[in-house]
Amino acid sequence: MEFLILIFVAIISFCWGWNLRERVVIKQTNKMFESLAKELQDEERNLIKIKIEKHNDMLLAYHYEDSLFIAQANNRKELEDRLSEKYPGKRFGCTEDNLKEIGFRT
Q: What are 15-24's pLDDT values in tens digits?
A: 999 999 999 9
> Which residue in 34, 35, 68 sits closest to 51, CA to CA?
68
Q: Which of 28-32, 37-41, 65-69 has the highest mean pLDDT?
A: 28-32
DSSP state of 104: S
Please name every residue paired with 53 in a beta bridge, in sequence order, or none if there are none: 60
Report the range out of 15-29, 35-49, 80-94 with the highest average pLDDT: 15-29
Give CA–CA dist 32/80, Å, rounded.
34
Stretch 1-24: mean pLDDT: 92
**pLDDT attached to residue 85:** 92
Contacts of 96 (CB under 8 A, 6+ apart): 105
d(CA 85, CA 56): 24
Mean pLDDT of the residues in the chain: 90
pLDDT at 34: 93
Three-state DSSP state, 16: helix
